[in-house]
Structure 1
Amino acid sequence: MGESNRTTGFAAEYAAVRDLPTDELVEKYAHLVRRIAYHLGGRLPASVDINDLVQAGMLGLMEAARKYAGDRGANFETYAGIRIRGRCSMNCAGWTGCRVRYTAGCGA
């Protein structure tokens, strides 16, 4: 019985996020971009500008907002975090060697 209530709650959450316009999703989850960018930036060389990571992460967030389908079982924050990290990893590739990217969690 508890499982049914939990499933219903997830469905309501997916519907609420899915119905938000893209720009509202981006505004609501912009804090996630900053959190991930600062987390990754702390593991990268000082030459990497945190603002570049934030900019790349925002592109990932916008992509996530456009492509999110809540019926696949992941909540939006989880899905967006993957997209944000992916976008940051694309930028990390130009700044660092493979060892640093792997250590920072930027991919590879």
Structure 2
Amino acid sequence: MCPEAADAALWKEYAETRSEGCRERIVKRYLPLIKYVVGRMVVTPPSGLDYEDLLSFGIFGLLDAIERFDLSKGFSFQTFAVPRIRGAVLDELRKCDWFSRTGREKVQRLNRAMERVLRDRGRLRDDWVMQEMGVDERTYLEAQELASRSYIASLDEVSVLEDGEVAIEDTLADDREGAQERLEFEGDREQLVAAMKQLTEREQQVLSLYYYEGLALKEIGRVLGVTESRVSQIHGHALSALRATLQGAESRRAVRRP
């Protein structure tokens, strides 16, 4: 029996019996999915927690997904479970107050400084951003580290709908939209491409390996010959730069609208 058929048979048995034994087999079957999801999350466990704790948080999401999954809907369990595993981990981290109010304020200050530098100078440089923030290198790097640990939705995030999961990138275009909306969507894509070109080669590498190749931060570190912490920092800086660039472009576009 092929793996797909075996999975279907297992889910059918569970739907009919709801037996504990069958449920345990499903949990064991999909435990590697938790490692995949946690490995792709750009979060650093707070003091007192470690990677194993994050995996245990993910089990809550897996169990919730198992109870709510409906094979008859026609989509895969992996697609259904991933956002729930990720959400369970984030929920538990929030309970631990892993990202304090002070931390959020530092990240917001960093983002505002990057937006101003981009607006005034047309590109980003670390020394310019530090000057705009009025901080030394140590404080600046601390803000970068905090930014790298913040959770930012990306195009591989999914929206949970009644009939399954739809990627955010699949919801950006609408066949019913008018010419103006289509032009604006094309403009968004062009702005994203332009913003990507402003990143350093190393930042582009990290984003490509993470979002297109599906590598975890630790794996990217091995590829690039740097620590996982450094990869996280590069990733955070790149996303902050992209966000500053795109927000600046959106502000300029809003001014031009009638």
Instruction: Give the structure-1-normalised TM-score.
Output: 0.68
Within-5 A mapping of 1:1-108: 15-18=8-11, 19-20=13-14, 21-40=22-41, 43-45=42-44, 47=46, 49-93=50-94, 94-96=97-99, 100-102=150-152
Q: Secondary structure at the match of 1:34?
A: helix
Paired letter, 2:23: T
Between the aligned partners of 1:50 and 1:83, the Cα distance in structure 2 is 18
Are 1:56 and 1:87, in contact at CA under 8 Å, matched by a contact in 2? yes
Are 1:17 and 1:76, in contact at CA under 8 Å, matched by a contact in 2? no
Q: CA RMSD in A?
A: 2.9
Are 2:45 and 2:98, in contact at CA under 8 Å, matched by a contact in 1? no
Paired letter, 1:36: V
Are 2:45 and 2:51, in contact at CA under 8 Å, matched by a contact in 1? no
Paired letter, 1:45: T
Between the aligned partners of 1:46 and 1:87, the Cα distance in structure 2 is 14
Relative contact order (C-alpha < 8 Å, sep 6+): which is higher?
Answer: 1
Call closer, same or farther: CA 1:61–1:54 in 2, change over 3 Å: same
Shift of 1:57: 0.4
Are 1:61 and 1:84, in contact at CA under 8 Å, matched by a contact in 2? yes
Mind listing any 5+ residue stretches in structure 2 that lack a counterpart? Answer: 15-21, 105-146, 158-258
| Larger mean Cα displacement after TM superposition, 97-106 or 17-26 | 97-106
Between the aligned partners of 2:58 and 2:71, the Cα distance in structure 1 is 21
Q: Which residue of 1 aligns with 2:138?
A: none
Paired letter, 1:44: V
Call closer, same or farther: CA 1:95–1:39 in 2, change over 3 Å: same
Instruction: Identify, as 1 or 2, the structure richer in helix.
Output: 1
Shift of 1:80: 1.4
Instruction: Give the structure-2-normalised TM-score.
Output: 0.32
Q: Secondary structure at the match of 1:29?
A: helix
Size of the aligned set, in residue pairs, is 94
Call closer, same or farther: CA 1:103–1:50 in 2, change over 3 Å: farther
Runs of 4+ more than 6 Å apart: 103-106
Are 1:36 and 1:85, in contact at CA under 8 Å, matched by a contact in 2? yes
Are 1:22 and 1:62, in contact at CA under 8 Å, matched by a contact in 2? no
Shift of 1:14: 7.2
Between the aligned partners of 1:15 and 1:31, the Cα distance in structure 2 is 18
Between the aligned partners of 1:55 and 1:27, the Cα distance in structure 2 is 13
Are 2:45 and 2:54, in contact at CA under 8 Å, matched by a contact in 1? no
Higher alpha-carbon Rg? 2
